[in-house]
Structures are given as C-alpha cells and as structure tokens.
Copies of this chain bind each other. A is one copy, B any other.
Amino acid sequence: MGCFDDGSFNVELENGVSSISCEEEEGNNRAVIEDAVKVLLEGLKEDINREGIRKTPFRVAKALREGTRGYRQKVKDIVQGALFPEAGLDDRIGHAGGAGGLVIVRDLDLYSYCESCLLPFQVKCHVGYVPAGQRVLGLSKLSRVSDVFAKRLQEPQRLADEVCSALHQGIKPAGVAIVLQCTHIPFPDTEPVFLDANHQSWFKILVSSGTGVFENKNADEWADFLSLIKFRGVDVENVHTRESSDPCWCPSQSSLSTKVSSKIGPVNHRMITAVASIIKSLGEDPLRDELVGTPSRFVRWLMNFQTSNFDRKLNGFHCGGIDSLNTNGDVNLNDKKLHSEMNLPFWSQCEHHLLPFHGVVHIGYLISGGFNPIGKSLLQKIVHFYGFKLQVQERLTRQIAETISPLLGGDVIVVVEASHTCMISRGIEKFGSSTATIAVLGRFATDLATRASFLQSIPSPTSSERQ
C-alpha cells in the first residue's frame, strides 16, 4: 500500500503530467482523435458520412479529452485554499477534529478508463484520512482529487495508490485510506456473458491503499475505517491489496477471451495504429508496458460491432428451430394467446459515442391457431444480431419488432431497457439513469388492454441490475 516514492509524486502535484493546456494544442489533440475515429469507423465498414455517425469523431474526441482531463489537472490547485484550521482535543487523551479525528467520505461514484482495453469502468470510491497539524480539508476536495486520477487511463490498484499518495502529499495528514469497488463490463467474446441479465459475469474487484497510519493494513485505523464503510454495504472481508504477481483484472486479458478472439478475423493494423495515436494524444505513452497491447484489445472489442458481422452472430437464424419453449408467460386473450419472453440480455455500441450500451429486451406477441411460438434461443439470436452493430436504442427496438413480426402473424410488442455508458461516463454523469423504448405492432398498437397486460407483466429489476 502506498509504496510510491515521494519524488514521483512531487512531479505529479506540480504539473499533472505535462503542461499541455493551450487551446491550439487542445485543438490538435482533438483533430488526431477525430482522424483516428474515422479510421475505426471505416474499419467497422461504416459510411462515415451517414448522418447518425457523421459527427461521431467530433463527439468521441470531445468525450475522450474530457474523460481524461485528469492528465491536465493539478492536485495542488484543488487542495490549496481548501485546508481549514480546525482544533483537535484540548488536553484529553484521544483524537478528534483536526488532530486525529478520522474523516471518511463514502460512496463517491466515479468513472475511469481501463488502460488495458480503453473501455470505461465504474468505481465506487470510499476515501478517508486522519487529520494532523490542526488542519482539515474541505470535504468535496476528497472527491475532486479522486476524480483527477480516475479521469486517466487506469488500473484499479494504481488508481487507489495514486489517489492515496496525492492526498497524503496534499494534506500532510497522519494517513490516508482508500477502498475502491470497481466494476468492468465483460467482453462479448464468450456466449455465457450474454445469457446473464444479472451482471453475474461482470468483473468486480475491491482494492485498497493506505499511507501513514494506514500503511500497515493491520493498524487499528483500518479497523475503524472498515467498520464505518461496512454498514454501507461494502464486503470488507474481501478487500485485498493486489500483488504485482496478480493477473490483470481486465476481461480482455483473460485466457478465455484471448482464445476466442480469433473469431474476430484478421487484425486491422490501420485501426490499431489509429488507437495508438489516440492514446498518445491523451498525453500517455503508448509504449508504456501496460498500454502496449491496448490498441489491439480495443480494436478486438470494437470489431464485435462491425456491420457485416452477420455470420458469427446470427448463425442458425434462418434455420433456427423451436427450442426450449417457455410457456409460463402465456395468457389467453379471446381467440389469441399472449406469449412473452422477458429479460433477453443484449449488448450494443452507441453510434453517437462509440460506447457500449446494454440491457434487456422484453418481447410479447399474440398467436392464434396458424402460428407456433418462437423459441427463446431464436429470439435471443435476433436480439444479438441487431445488438452487435453501431446502434441507437430506438432503431434496435424497431428492428427487432420488424424482424419477428412477419414470423409471428403481426401482433408484436418489444420493450428495450438499457443502461448507456455514454449517459454515465461522459458529461452528464447520470449514474442511476436508464432508458426504455417501445415498439408496438398490429393489435398491440390499437388494443390498450392487451398492451397494458404485457407492460404490467415486465418484472422489476433486481438490485444488482439497478446498480
């Protein structure tokens, strides 16, 4: 924990990484990213002049520069002027206030970029420090300093260590403690991921870091800190400090993921070079050990969403038989029967921001004598087929409805519920938000009672889905 030498952190505090802040350089850096994104879109076989994605290079460049603004921020600027004199105990035995009174800020929602694959990952940050020298820090600064390091290409343990050391340098307290709960979306290389609507296969890690009195993880101060975050739902038994020998947490580096990556097809070197130029323009060294393989891993992720990925994703679509029919959702509606398939998971990529969105699809349809219900696995294949593209949720919803409608006699309703990474990791940072879209065909368009019957049967999300 906190094993950084002071020298490197003085540099950090002085000037972030380097003082590239003038408008011209910002413009140049954005232009580099825009050019690179055009290469990526072409690699995905998209028409870069199509209206929906014409401005995508601009949006991606803006979002990426903002999302990595931590490289250009100085901890010193944030902490300065926010240290307040605060008395400790007068002459009693003990600790309180500005001399030893532990301060903790819990449940700070942050977003960071995975240095291994360039995808955003979610962080719930708990930060504490023990004041010394009769000085306390304005509470919001604990969040702002954490965000300086989250807004970079990161790895959870390094993020924890850097926040810890920077706060220690900035506040000069008796010690700083950090616990991070990090969540990484899975790579869509393996089938099991997609049959999992409950985020069971999401990659989660709990890391900690400590300086000063928190340097030793058996210290009494750690017991206090963990007690005070435990009843906020943190499984403190599982807090661990990552060892240098631990494998990388990013799913892009798991052996399974590497094995199936050959399905993606031959590597597109132009795309890889483009991603390397993006990394450089963010202020990072693309040759840093942890970043060398990042461009190819990001391209591998992206290639899941190429427009012509028909064969891989839809194998068995046209000849798909009726399998594992779930009749639990059947309701009799006069002559026709309402069938429903709930919670079909999907993954997609927002064409406006090149960021993932994911969620579940609920499908309802009426069938009479002449038609048979469609099996769940065929519906799931159709959902994946339209998911694995550059998409918008409205179109995905319509396309699924239009595809299944002729197979089923025309009375179809489709509801898509999703979380959009672009709503969370970019500008507006609306962590708890979710979207719902709906398509209604045939009788569902005109018969309110039938539609309501389906909508009311949509199950509530579990708490893990709501996260």
**Interfacial residues, chain A to chain B (CB-CB below 8 A):** 51-52, 55, 81, 84-90, 92-98, 101-109, 131, 136, 138-140, 143-144, 147, 220, 223-224, 227-228, 230-232, 352, 392-395, 397-398, 401-402, 405, 410, 412, 414-415, 420, 422-423, 426-442, 444-446, 448, 451-452, 455-456, 458-461, 466
Contact = CB atoms under 8 A, between A and B. Distances in A.
A394 B103 contact: yes
A95 B428 CA distance: 29
B438 A102 contact: yes
A445 B107 contact: no
A131 B423 CA distance: 20
A402 B86 contact: no
B109 A441 contact: no
Contacts of A52: 84-86
Contact of A92 (B139, B441, B459): B441
Given A228-B455, A230-B456, 13 more contacts: A52-B84, A87-B398, A96-B401, A96-B441, A101-B437, A106-B434, A107-B433, A108-B430, A109-B430, A143-B430, A220-B451, A227-B458, A231-B459
A256 to B, nearest CB: 33
B55 A81 contact: yes
Contacts of A140: 422-423, 426-428
Pick from A92, A412, A451 the residue with the most CB of B within 10 Å.
Answer: A92
Nearest to A456: B227
B445 A95 contact: yes
A54 to B, nearest CB: 10
Given A105-B435, A108-B430, A138 B352 contact: yes
Contacts of A414: 96
